[in-house]
Structure 1
Amino acid sequence: MVIGPEFAVGPVVRLGGTELSLSPVVAVVGWAAASVIDRVVVQAIFHTTVGKAVFGLCVVRPEDGSHPGFWRLLAVWLVDLYLAVAVPLALIGIDAPGPDRVQDYFLPAVRRADLPVRYRLPAE
């Protein structure tokens, strides 16, 4: 309702739905904003995304088991976004350059209970 070009409550009340339309630009920008907030901002603060929190998981840096910082999480998000475009292009034969060390951009998720005490949140 809110992202339609003309905000109106009437179509929702009538349940017709024909007056509602989705602006693709607003949808993509909204998805990107929600994704960055969850995968970068929330994860930098709480060391987990909303989905991982449901299962008691958190992300760690593979080299030392500590939690990644904001800039590392942002780099991971940007590489994931890039790969969403590069992989389909590679499947149709268009070669796109990628990062030198791909393993730096795939962070493992582990159970919070398995973390050393020094990496746990104070409430745990």
Structure 2
Amino acid sequence: AVDFSRACVDLVSTVPGRFPLEPEEPERTLQYGFRRVAQVLTQRRGALSRPLGPGDKLILQQTSIGQGMDSAFLDALADAMIPETWGDEEDAHKFQALRILWPTWNDVHRMLGTSV
């Protein structure tokens, strides 16, 4: 079980997959998807008054049941969690665990009040 009583939550809108953006709108790359996840992690990490410890976890829930959950996504997450540019401070800001929550079809139907 996970105690969420002190959790910080950020909702990031995304559509599974990668799509080209219009050249005249480069700021949109930070509003959605993988780059938004990286930005949120960087902001949250910078707001901490202490280094991350063994009890800190990053919990991710994909609502698209794994669509787009590939090596590029996991690499982007790893880069956001532990950027190489941190040098000696890297270990002080390293998550020890990443948990991915997957709702089952039964969970979804139970929430909707429908039968499987």
Name the TM-score, length of structure 1 as normaliser.
Answer: 0.27
More helix by share: 1
The one of the two structures with greater contact order (alpha-carbon pairs below 8 A, sep at least 6) is: 2
